[in-house]
Structure 1
Amino acid sequence: MTSEQERWAFASQLIDIHGSDIGRFMTKRFYAMLEAGDESGRRFWEDIAERVLALTGPTTGAKRQ
């Protein structure tokens, strides 16, 4: 499995695990990396968040930045 495939699989698993709380979970991870100054970690979670959004679609009224 390629790194690309692994990231898609990881995003899918997070959705299965966290369900409707996925947004809250992703926000916590992203800000934890930001606060720690972990640029690589922040980029990783940003990438995973993009994949989660692609898999789940935006909710009504949500705006992509």
Structure 2
Amino acid sequence: MATEHQRWTFAAELLERHGDAIDGFVKRQVDDCIERDDEEGLIFWHDVISKLVRLMGPGEGAGPQ
């Protein structure tokens, strides 16, 4: 299992790599986990999504603060 630091690093790298297309990329990952009934994968991606929202900050998909 990835450490907290590794997940933050992963989220930052995803954001850098995918930029404005990050939503679609993450949605595909989540959909894949749902299709495979992968509960651990969903937990992982939920955590990564929360980190992405914090990294993007207000005004970039973070919703009301």
TM-score by length of 2: 0.83
> Which stretches of structure 1, 4 residues or more, deviate above 3 A after TM superposition?
58-64
In structure 2, the residue matched to 1:53 is 53
The Cα of 1:56 is off from its aligned counterpart by: 0.3
1:1-65 equivalent positions in 2, closer than 5 A: 3-59=3-59, 63=63
More displaced 10-residue stretch of structure 1: 3-12 or 53-62: 53-62
Name structure 1 gaps, 5 residues minimum.
Answer: none
Distance in 2 between residues matched to 1:18 and 1:4, nearest whole Å: 21
In 1, Cα distance between equivalents of 2:37 and 2:43 = 11
Q: Structure 2: how far apart are the matches of 1:6 and 1:61?
A: 23
Name which of structure 1's ranges 9-18 and 55-64 shifts more when overlaid on structure 2. 55-64
| Length-normalised TM-score, structure 1 | 0.83
Alignment: residue pair count? 63
1-structure distance, mates of 2:7, 2:18: 16
Aligned residue for 2:4, secondary structure, equals helix
Matched residues, percent identical? 35
Higher relative contact order (CA 8 A, sep 6+): 1
